[in-house]
Structure 1
Amino acid sequence: MEGPRSPSENELPGVLEFLNKKLRNEASWSIAAEYPTAFSSNNLHNMRIIADEGHVLSHAVLKPLIIKSPHVIFKVGAIGSVVTDDQHRGQGLSTKVISDCLKLATEQSCDIAILWTDLFDFYRRMGFELAGSEISFVVEENYDIPPINLRFSTDTKVSPDAIYRLYSAHSVNSVRTIEETRKFLSIPQTKVYTAWESNGQLAAYAIEGKGVDLGGYIHEWGGSVSKLMALFSFIRAHKNQPYTIICPRHAQNLIQQLQQKPVTMNQGFLGMIKLVNFDQLSAKIKRAFRAEGVADIVLEKHPQHFVFGVGQDLFTINNETDMVRLLFGPVDYRALGMFKEETIQKLEKVLPLNLWIWGWDSI
C-alpha cells in the first residue's frame, strides 16, 4: 500500500474509473465532466490517492480558489470526492488523504479549507465545523411581475463571455476565466435560463443542476435584482413545479424581493470550514478593519486559545471551531453577550466575513 500521493498522468484514467464506479455508478458521463477544473491534468498535483498494486483504494482532491470580497481576498482550499473502497474502510485511509489535502492547502497558502458533507462528526474530528451562511428559497408558486421588456430562453448555447460579464459583477466571487466558464456550461445535466434585452444583450442568467448534484437548485445566477426576479418568475412558470434558489447572506436586495413572493425561506450553513493559516487570515482581517477605521482590533492565536475583540474589550476563545463561526458566521454578537455595544458596532463593520462559493466551484 502506497500513498497518499498524487497520481501520474498515466494513472489518471484509472483514478477516474475508480471515482466513476464509486461516486457516479448510475451516470452516463465521467465525473471529470462534472468537475472539469478539478479533474484535469493541470490539477494532478492536488489529487491524492492511496493505491495498492495499481488499484486505487482511497481518493480526495483539493481545488484552490481565490475568492474576492469587499473586505478580504481569500485563498480557499475546497476538498471533495472523498471516497474509500468498500473493502478497505475503517482503516483510516480517508483521514490520510484528507490530511494530505490539508497539507497541500497549507503549502499553497490557503487561508481556510471547505468541504460539503453530511458526515459532520467525522469531519469535526479533523477540525472542520459548520459555518458560513447559505439562504435558500423554495419558489412554491407562480408569481407575477410588473411588465418588463425581456425575452426569456432555455437554450444552453450561451456565450461564456456574456455569462462571465454578469458573474464578474458579483461583490463576492471566485476568480475564473472565460474558458473555465465555457467548461462549466458544458457540465452534464446543467440547465441554463437566460433573460435578454431587446438589443440582444444578456440581462440575467440562472444555472440549475450540475451533473448528479444540485438538481432543482438554482446555484448560480447574475444580473440586476429586477431582471433576476423576472427570470425566476419565468423559471417557475416554465418548470410548472417548485424549485430552490440558493443565495449568499449578503445578497440583501434580492433576499428582500424574494421574501415578498410565495416562497419558503430556509437558513443554513455554507459548508464545513477549517482554519488552515490563521496568522495569514488574521493579518488580512486586521487590514480590513483598519480600512474601516478600526485600528485596535485584536485577533491573536496563542498555544491553547485565541484572543478576540477590540481595544480592551477582549474575549478568550478556547476552540478553533468557535473561532471559525465568529469569523464566518452565522453568529449574532449581541445574543452572545460577549462584548459591549460599542465593540459590536465596530466588529460588524467587517464580521461575519462575506464568504461565498458559487455552485460551479463546489467539489
Structure 2
Amino acid sequence: MEGPRSPAESELPRVLNFLNQSLRSEAAWSIAAEYPTALSSTNLHNMRIITENDQVVSHAVLKPLVVKSPHVIFKVGAIGSVVTNETHRNQGLSTKIIEDCIQQATRQQCDIAILWTDLYDFYRRMGFELAGTEISVVVEEEFPMPDPTLRLSKDSKVAAEALHRLYSTHSVNSVRSVEETRKFLSIPQTQVYTAWDTSGQLAAYAVEGKGADLGGYIHEWGGSVTAIMTLLSYIRREKQQAVTIIIPRHSKNLLERLREKPVTYNQGFLGMIKILNFDQLAAKIKRAFRAEGIADIVLEKQNGQYVFGCNTDLAVLGGEENLTQLLFGPLDFETLDVFTPETREKLAKILPLNLWIWGWDSI
C-alpha cells in the first residue's frame, strides 16, 4: 500500500478512470468535466491517492478557495470525490486520505475545511460538524414578471465575462477568474438562464444543474433582485413545474421578495465544517469586530475549551462543534441566554459569519 500521496501527471488518466468507474459509472462524461478546476493537472498537488500494485484504491481531492465577505476573507479547503474501492473498504483508507487532505489544507493556511456528505457520524470523528446556513426556496406556482422589459433566454452560450461581472457583485463569493468561469460553463448537464436589459447588457443569470450533482437546483445566480425575480418567473413558466433555488442567509432582500410568492422555505446546513487554524481565524474575527468599533471581543482557547464573549461577559464552550455552529450558524447566541443584551447586540454585528460556497465551487 502506497500513500496517501499526490499522483504524478502520468497517473492522472488512471485516477480519473478509477473515479469514473466508482462515482460516475452511469454518466456519459468524465467526472473531470464536472470539476474542471479540481480534477485537473493544475491541481495534482491537492489530489490524494492510495495505491496498491500500481492500482488506485482510494482517492480524495482538496480545492483551496479564497472566500471574500464584508467582514472576513477566508481561506477554505473544500474536500470532495472521496471514494475507496469496494474491495479495500473497512480498512481505514478513507479516514487516512481525509486526514491527509486536512493536513494539506492546514499547511496551505486554510482557516477551515468544508465538505458535503450525509455520513455525518463518520466525519464527526475527524472533527467536522454540520454548520453554516443554506436556504432552499421552492417556487411552487407561476407568478407575474416584475420587469417585462427584460429579454429572457435559456441559451447556455453566454460570455464568461458577462457572468463573471455579475458574479463579482455578490457580497460573499469565492475568488474566480474569467477563465475558471468559462470552464464552469462547459460542465455537462448545466442549464444557464439569462435576462438582458434593453441596452443588451446582462441583467441577471441563473444556473441549474452541474453534471450528476445539483440537478433540478438553481445553485448559481446573480443580478438585481427584480431581474432575478423576473428570471425565476420565466424559469417557472418554461419548466411547468416547481423550481428550487439555493440562497445564502445574508441575501435578505431576495428572500423577502420570494416570501411574498407561493413558495416553500427550507433551511438547512451549508455543509460539514472543521476549524483548521483557530488562532488565525480568531485573529480575523477580532479584526472584523475592531473595524466595527468593538475592541473588547474575547475569543480564546484555554485548556481545550473556548472562551467567548465581550470584556468580562464570557461563556465557556466545551467543544469545537459548538464553536463552529456559533461562528458560522445556525446556533443562535441570542438563545443561549448567557450574555447580556448589550453583549448580544455587539456580537450580532459580525456573527454568524457570512460564509457561502456557490454551487460551481462545491466538489
TM-score for the superposition, normalised by structure 2 = 0.99
Amino acid at match of 1:60: A
Is the contact made by 2:146 and 2:229 (CA closer than 8 Å) also made in structure 1? no
- Give how far 1:338 is off: 1.6
| Aligned residue in 2 for 1:94 | 94
| Aligned residue in 2 for 1:292 | 292
For 2:16 and 2:157, locate their aligned partners in 1 and report how far apart those are by CA, in whole Å: 27
1:3-22 mapped onto 2 (5 Å cutoff): 3-22=3-22
Amino acid at match of 2:160: P
For 1:230 and 1:285, locate their aligned partners in 2 and report how far apart those are by CA, in whole Å: 37
TM-score for the superposition, normalised by structure 1 = 0.99
Amino acid at match of 2:149: N
| Aligned residue in 1 for 2:50 | 50
- Give how far 1:147 is off: 4.6
| Aligned CA distance change for structure 1 residues 53 and 350 (closer, same or farther; 3 Å) | same
| Aligned residue in 2 for 1:224 | 224
For 1:146 and 1:209, locate their aligned partners in 2 and report how far apart those are by CA, in whole Å: 25
For 1:155 and 1:91, locate their aligned partners in 2 and report how far apart those are by CA, in whole Å: 48
| Aligned residue in 1 for 2:259 | 259
Helix, strand or coil: the match of 1:301? Answer: strand
Amino acid at match of 1:27: A
Is the contact made by 2:147 and 2:230 (CA closer than 8 Å) also made in structure 1? no
Q: Is residue 312 of structure 2 the alignment partner of residue 312 of structure 1?
A: yes
For 1:297 and 1:238, locate their aligned partners in 2 and report how far apart those are by CA, in whole Å: 51
For 1:106 and 1:38, locate their aligned partners in 2 and report how far apart those are by CA, in whole Å: 18
Once the two structures are aligned, what percentage of the paired residues are identical?
70
Is the contact made by 2:194 and 2:204 (CA closer than 8 Å) also made in structure 1? yes
- List structure 1 runs of 4+ shifted beyond 2 angstroms: 145-148
For 2:66 and 2:126, locate their aligned partners in 1 and report how far apart those are by CA, in whole Å: 23
Amino acid at match of 2:90: G
For 1:231 and 1:262, locate their aligned partners in 2 and report how far apart those are by CA, in whole Å: 16
| Aligned residue in 1 for 2:154 | 154
Is the contact made by 2:138 and 2:245 (CA closer than 8 Å) also made in structure 1? yes
- Give how far 1:346 is off: 0.2
Helix, strand or coil: the match of 2:3? Answer: strand
For 2:158 and 2:233, locate their aligned partners in 1 and report how far apart those are by CA, in whole Å: 20
Q: Deviations over 1:261-301 (max 9, x none)?
A: 11100000000000000000000000000000110000001
1:100-115 mapped onto 2 (5 Å cutoff): 100-115=100-115
Helix, strand or coil: the match of 2:102? Answer: helix
For 2:243 and 2:94, locate their aligned partners in 1 and report how far apart those are by CA, in whole Å: 34
For 2:264 and 2:304, locate their aligned partners in 1 and report how far apart those are by CA, in whole Å: 43
Amino acid at match of 1:280: Q
For 1:188 and 1:305, locate their aligned partners in 2 and report how far apart those are by CA, in whole Å: 46
Helix, strand or coil: the match of 1:352? Answer: coil
For 2:264 and 2:219, locate their aligned partners in 1 and report how far apart those are by CA, in whole Å: 16
For 1:48 and 1:93, locate their aligned partners in 2 and report how far apart those are by CA, in whole Å: 11
| Aligned residue in 2 for 1:133 | 133
| Aligned residue in 1 for 2:244 | 244
Helix, strand or coil: the match of 1:346? Answer: helix
- Give how far 1:148 is off: 2.6
For 1:147 and 1:325, locate their aligned partners in 2 and report how far apart those are by CA, in whole Å: 39
For 2:311 and 2:247, locate their aligned partners in 1 and report how far apart those are by CA, in whole Å: 34
Amino acid at match of 2:103: K
For 1:23 and 1:297, locate their aligned partners in 2 and report how far apart those are by CA, in whole Å: 46
For 2:304 and 2:158, locate their aligned partners in 1 and report how far apart those are by CA, in whole Å: 53
| Aligned residue in 2 for 1:40 | 40
Helix, strand or coil: the match of 1:345? Answer: helix
Amino acid at match of 1:284: K
For 2:146 and 2:57, locate their aligned partners in 1 and report how far apart those are by CA, in whole Å: 57
Number of paired residues?
Answer: 363
- Give how far 1:71 is off: 0.1
Amino acid at match of 1:252: K
- Give how far 1:331 is off: 2.0
Is the contact made by 2:4 and 2:100 (CA closer than 8 Å) also made in structure 1? yes
For 2:342 and 2:336, locate their aligned partners in 1 and report how far apart those are by CA, in whole Å: 15
- Give how far 1:303 is off: 3.0
- Give how far 1:86 is off: 0.3
Unaligned 5+ segments in structure 1 are none
Helix, strand or coil: the match of 1:206? Answer: strand
For 2:191 and 2:117, locate their aligned partners in 1 and report how far apart those are by CA, in whole Å: 24
| Aligned residue in 1 for 2:142 | 142
- Give how far 1:145 is off: 2.8
Amino acid at match of 2:246: I
Amino acid at match of 2:272: M
More displaced stretch, 136-145 vs 339-348: 136-145
For 2:303 and 2:13, locate their aligned partners in 1 and report how far apart those are by CA, in whole Å: 44
Helix, strand or coil: the match of 1:161? Answer: helix
Helix, strand or coil: the match of 2:109? Answer: coil
For 2:124 and 2:34, locate their aligned partners in 1 and report how far apart those are by CA, in whole Å: 27
| Aligned CA distance change for structure 1 residues 314 and 140 (closer, same or farther; 3 Å) | same
Q: Deviations over 1:111-159 (max 9, x none)?
A: 0000000000000000000000001101111111345311000111100
- Give how far 1:207 is off: 0.1
- Give how far 1:202 is off: 0.3
For 1:234 and 1:67, locate their aligned partners in 2 and report how far apart those are by CA, in whole Å: 31
